[in-house]
A and B are shown apart, each in its own frame.
Chain A
């Protein structure tokens, strides 16, 4: 085909011209990729850095007290006896109170927002919940000290004492600052995250699930219970554990209302102390090396349990295909 070959000539010439040019440098590409990779790996480095720094800062205390640190309950900086049990107890109990209060409310709100509420009201409520999440812990603590504590002391606490005073949990003098107050303030702190993660999970339930149940004649609540909640069970559990992780590490607000007394008593009206609070209160006052080391070790314990809670939560949430933006932002 002569006509075709005459057309090919300039193309071949162009190609040979291109062949003469140096291939474009790929140095910029490689450098940029490595740079971004280094930055992405920073998160891994940071996790190890935190663990390493906490372990290094507490090595003396770990060697000195060993496992007893976790099982003894004397906290006497003067005599240098350090046992973290009251703080572990306080952290666990206050977080449990918080979960008992926050989980039903959060999940019910998430159900309301995805299944029941009229469409026009959904967005405003979500915005308000985001605003609640944006309130800093220290401001909630301020409100807790001057508004919530006096109110709790005057109304709900005496009432609880009258009703449930026969159980060991609601006995003894009422000071206001207490384990229960700490639990309530943590509950307020974790409401937004549990609600928004639960909402994302319920939203990710396929509509086919709902339609199938409706087609069988189920009422709205039956659809929610049978088709939605049972489908989303694992993810909702993940949301709860994520809330637990936040509750365990909550510091400022709880420090301001829990009373900061290292003791293990059944009564929820009695003041308590948490791992995070003891670090916040005593870190700058730690006069001896061993005291500081013990506080570092408390940090290590707190880091360990929150990492564990977060690992479990993320694994559970991974099973649901959920947009992770809400989690990243909160």
Chain B
């Protein structure tokens, strides 16, 4: 068919139209971010004050109070989660990158990716069965365990990715000097990729910091300070949830404040990661 002028124009118009539609789609995809952030600032900024960070929640009907216990509780949970998730994730990632046959590793990778897709609420149910039922009580241990297990596949995959970025020459140089393989991996390969490994850990922490579902029936929440890790503990996302579905205006106000603090913290970690790496996951030694 001979390309006629009108045909050509029509095709070009169609192309421009498709480009315009794609642009509008991109705007629509990022618009929820703007809307959520706008409302967080509008409804939460006024309520973020000194009391919010230093006070315990007040009883129903008493205006004021804060979420100090929930903020500390979140850090407790994340710390415990890191103790479980980081060693398993990092060492597992080392295995995937440095040892094992290609076939077996691709299977393990596959399982890790599938595990990554398990809904977070399922982790809550499983840890409830494993820990809460057995030890007859909600606890910070149980909550931390649920978050820690969620972190395992995340950290494993990111660790593997960054270790594979380390040039093989580094390994060969170390081995040629007679350094044993495990020392090569720990002192050369992992050290070179340490920035990337830390990045993966921080991203995993940022991801589980906002999780509520796995904590509902493991950490359970607490309106007071918890005095030991075997007691129920408050967490920022849990507190936001219970305040959001409550019928009290003052609690709604605090839920917004808590949400603002949580989002800013998570964004801050993400920003930190970006500054830390500036696109480079491994540093030359």
Contact A117 B259, CB 8 Å, known A40-B108, A136-B210, A191-B32 = no
Residues in chain A near residue B161, CB distance under 8 A: 323-325, 328
Which residues from chain A contact B255 at a C-beta distance below 8 Å? Answer: 142
Is there an interface contact between A249 and B95, defined as CB atoms closer than 8 Å?
no
B158 and A33 contacting across the interface, CB-CB below 8 Å: no
User: How far does the alpha carbon of A28 sit from the alpha carbon of B88 in the complex, in Å?
Assistant: 19
Kindly state whether residue A245 has any CB partner on chain B within 8 Å.
Answer: yes
Distance of B243 from chain A, by nearest CB (Å):
9
Separation of A104 and B25 alpha carbons in the complex (Å): 8
Cross-chain pairs A/B with CB under 8 angstroms, 9 sampled: A39-B92, A49-B126, A192-B29, A219-B15, A248-B119, A256-B244, A283-B217, A306-B122, A314-B114
B26 touches A125 (CB 8 A): yes
Which residues of the other chain, A, contact B256 by a CB distance below 8 angstroms? Answer: 142, 146
With known contacts A141-B244, A250-B119, A311–B270 Cβ distance under 8 A? no
CA distance A55 to B115 in the complex (A): 17
With A36-B99, A147-B39, A252-B212 as known contacts, state yes or no: A53 contacts B126, CB within 8 Å: yes
Known contacts A40-B156, A142-B259, A327-B113; decide if A29 and B182 are in contact (CB<8 Å): yes
Of the candidate stretches B62-70, B75-83, B166-174, B260-268, the one touching chain A is B260-268
- A130 and B128 alpha carbons, distance in the complex (Å): 31
**Cβ–Cβ contact A221 & B158, under 8 A:** no
Q: Determine the main DSSP class of A at the interface with B.
A: helix
Q: A36-B98, A191-B29, A283-B128 are in contact. List 7 more A-B contacts (CB 8 A).
A: A43-B112, A47-B111, A138-B244, A188-B32, A192-B29, A224-B18, A249-B117
- Residues 100-141 of A at the B interface (beta carbon under 8 Å): 104-106, 108-109, 111-113, 115-117, 125, 128-132, 134-141
State whether B212 touches A135 (Cβ < 8 A). no
Chain B interface: which of A6-14, A160-168, A296-304?
A296-304
Interface size range on B against A? 35 or more
Whether B117 lies near A306 (C-beta < 8 A) is yes
Q: Are B240 and A138 in contact (CB under 8 A)?
A: yes
A276 within 8 A of B: yes
Which residues of chain A come closer than 8 Å to B52, judged between CB atoms? none
Tell me whether A136 and B111 are in contact in the complex, defined as CB-CB below 8 angstroms, given that A108-B25, A129-B30, A324-B161 are known contacts.
no
CA distance A205 to B212 in the complex (A): 38
A42 CA to B15 CA, complexed, in Å = 50
Question: Could you tell me if A306 and B119 are in contact, using CB atoms closer than 8 angstroms?
Answer: yes
Q: Is the CB of A329 within 8 A of B158?
A: yes
Contact (Cβ within 8 A) B158 A325: yes
**Given A37-B99, A220-B15, A327-B113, A143-B25 contact (CB < 8 Å):** no
Contact between B36 and A135 (Cβ–Cβ < 8 Å)? yes
The smallest beta-carbon distance between A146 and chain B, in angstroms, is 7
A-B contacts counted at CB < 8 A amount to 297
Complex: how many Å from CA A306 to CA B122? 10
A130 and B100 contact, CB distance less than 8 A: no
Q: Is the C-beta of A236 less than 8 angstroms from some C-beta in chain B?
A: no
| Smallest CB separation, A164 vs chain B (Å) | 21
A213 within 8 A of B: no
Query: Could you give, for residues 277-308 of chain A, a 1 whenever the CB lies within 8 Å of some chain B CB and a 0 otherwise?
Result: 00110011000000000011001001100110
Task: Provide the bound-state CA to CA distance between A143 and B43, in Å.
Answer: 10
The answer to whether A128 and B33 touch across the interface, beta carbons within 8 angstroms, is yes
Most chain B beta-carbon neighbours within 10 Å: one of A36, A43, A49, A54: A43
B29–A109 CB distance below 8 A: yes
Interface code B156-200, partner A: CB below 8 Å = 1, 0 otherwise?
111001000000000000000010111101100000000000001
Is there a chain A Cβ closer than 8 Å to B91's Cβ? yes
- B237 contacts the other chain (CB 8 A): yes
User: Is B102 interfacial (CB-CB < 8 Å)?
Assistant: no
Residues of chain A contacted by B89 (CB below 8 angstroms): 39
Are the C-beta atoms of A279 and B125 separated by less than 8 Å? yes
What is the CA–CA distance of A147 and B38 in the complex, to the nearest angstrom? 11
Q: Across the interface, which residues of A come within 8 angstroms of B87, CB to CB?
A: 39
Distance, CA A147 to CA B116, complexed state (A):
31
B71 at the interface (CB under 8 A from A): no
Q: A222-B15, A251-B120 are in contact. Are A314 and B113 (CB under 8 A)?
A: yes
For residue A182, CB closer than 8 A to chain B, the reply is: no
Question: Hey, which chain B residues are within 8 Å of A109, CB to CB?
Answer: 22, 25-26, 29
- What is the CA–CA distance of A249 and B211 in the complex, to the nearest angstrom? 13
- Say whether B33 contacts A249, CB under 8 Å: no
Q: Which chain A residues border B259 with CB–CB below 8 Å?
A: 138-139, 142
The verdict on A310 contacting B113 (CB below 8 Å), with A35-B91, A138-B212 known, is yes
On chain A, the residues within 8 Å of B118 by CB distance are 50, 249, 303, 306-307, 310
Residues on B with C-beta less than 8 A from A307 are 114, 117-118
In the complex the two chains form, is A221's CB within 8 Å of B212's CB?
no
Q: Quick check: is A94 within 8 A (CB to CB) of the other chain?
A: no
Q: Is the beta-carbon distance between A40 and B267 smaller than 8 angstroms? A: no
B21 near A: Cβ within 8 Å?
A: yes
Are B14 and A219 within 8 A (Cβ)? yes
Distance of A115 Cα from B18 Cα, bound (Å):
11
- Does B140 touch A at the CB level, under 8 Å? no
Task: Looking at the assembled complex, report how far the CB atom of A215 sits from the nearest CB atom of chain B, in whole angstroms.
Answer: 15
Q: Is A309 an interface residue (CB 8 A)?
A: yes
Task: Judge whether A283 and B125 touch: CB under 8 Å.
Answer: yes
B114, B116, B156, B186 pick with most chain A CB within 10 angstroms: B114
CB neighbours of B234 from chain A (8 A): none
Q: Which of A129, A299, A310 contacts B114 (CB 8 A)?
A: A310
Contact B252 A146 (CB under 8 A): yes
